[in-house]
Amino acid sequence: MTRPNCKVYVDTNSNHLQQVYTGLALLHRQGKINLKLEFDKSVRECVVPFSVQSNILHMDVDRKKICFDMADSPELSESALQRSDVYFKRSFNSRFVQPNLISKVKPYGLNYLVYPNGFDLFGFRRCAKFYKTPNWFKEVIKQADFLGKMHYKVSTSSLNAAAVMREPPKVLFLARLWDINSDSYFEVDEAYSQQRRDINEQRAKCITLLRDALGSHFTGGLLATDFALKEHPKLVIKNTNLTSKQNYISALKDHDICVASTGLHGSIGWKFGEYIATSKAIVAETNENEVPKLQVNKHYLEFSSADECVESVLYLKNNDDLRSQMMCDNQHYYETSLRPDRLLWNCLEQVL
């Protein structure tokens, strides 16, 4: 196959898109694609933090116009659809795809925050271009500091880990509560508020029951936000160091069974991808979004209530063969379908 030319139209540096950018950078290093960034003039005037910038990225791959939509919601962007020949959707739910668009809209897969190993010239250029973004300088330092001396960065090598069986197995579930009344950047209407209530209630119940059932074999709790301290102070994690990214990744590698709950807009949260990257046995809340090649009862057990969550965790805890096989299956899934370069290449192969 001739090396394809990939021109990426950069008008956002959203954290949701970092995995896509990482995959493209790695493919360029490997000589599989020729990567070129084309910056929109508007980025120099951007004042919106990277965390809430647009989650849609457009690129040309040879003669095809490709869109990567990494938003939490399963709803599709009409303007992005009109601009695209192929539309990869992170939160892919066929109920939101009209029949005439089935051949055009394709599931992307799991998303999580990850950076390339070493110095990423493309990432450095992106961050440097967003001059008026309040946290742009921190991001520039993060990209330049590829040795991690000043700022911890979750690289592909620091996140990935092989399957390890330990006895007794330890269980991990760290979660946050969403403020039901307000958000820094988004309007919280009644429907959105109720969605947040439901998420909060499920997470709090799961943590309560897991603590009771597992005792010292469970590590978990709620992040110490003002809202969590007000609503469920007894469930807030006392060791705040555990919630820093570096310490969290270290703790993740030291556990065997990990719990994932459904996120905002019914999305599959970033933790799910991190669990697979570290070859964990997984118990996850039922989700309607489609992820290529990911199978329930093979890569994870699912639950729809807090009681079912505990039952599934205990089943994995007491079944060494199933737990071991799931860890190995997830390690294989990461290498073939989730490692950023592999995931992006799987997408591009559908286009070329």
Helix axes 245-253, 270-277, angle to 10 degrees: 50
Alpha helix ranges (H) inside the chain = 18-29, 78-83, 121-129, 136-144, 156-159, 190-214, 226-231, 245-253, 270-277, 306-318, 320-333, 340-349
- Please give the Cα distance from 235 to 306 (Å, whole number): 15
Within 10 angstroms of residue 19's Cβ, the number of other Cβ atoms is 26
- Please give the Cα distance from 197 to 190 (Å, whole number): 10
pTM of the model: 0.95
Q: Which two tokens stand for residue 235?
A: 């469930």
Q: For 123-164, what is the HEC assignment?
A: HHHHHHHCCCCCCHHHHHHHHHCCCCCCCCCCEHHHHCCCCC
Digits of tens for pLDDT over the chain (352 positions)?
Answer: 689 999 999 999 999 999 999 999 999 999 999 999 999 988 988 888 888 899 999 999 998 999 999 999 999 999 999 999 999 999 999 999 999 999 999 999 999 999 999 999 999 999 999 888 888 888 888 888 877 777 888 999 999 999 999 999 999 999 999 988 877 666 677 877 898 999 999 999 999 999 999 999 999 999 999 999 999 999 999 887 888 899 999 999 999 999 999 998 899 999 999 999 999 999 999 999 999 999 999 999 999 999 999 999 999 999 999 999 999 999 999 999 999 999 999 999 999 8
CATH number of 159-337: 3.40.50.2000
Nearest to 20 by CA among 346, 243, 352, 351: 346
Q: Which two tokens stand for residue 281?
A: 């046995």
- Please give the Cα distance from 119 to 313 (Å, whole number): 39
User: CB–CB of 107/291 below 8 Å?
Assistant: yes
User: Residue 42: exposed, middle, or buried by beta-carbon count in 10 A (0-12, 13-18, 19+)?
Assistant: exposed
Residue-wise DSSP of 54-66: --EEEEEETTEEE
Tell me what pLDDT residue 283 has: 98
Domain boundary assignment for the chain? 5-158+341-349, 159-337
Tell me what pLDDT residue 1 has: 64
Nearest to 214 by CA among 283, 130, 278: 283
Tell me what pLDDT residue 33 has: 97
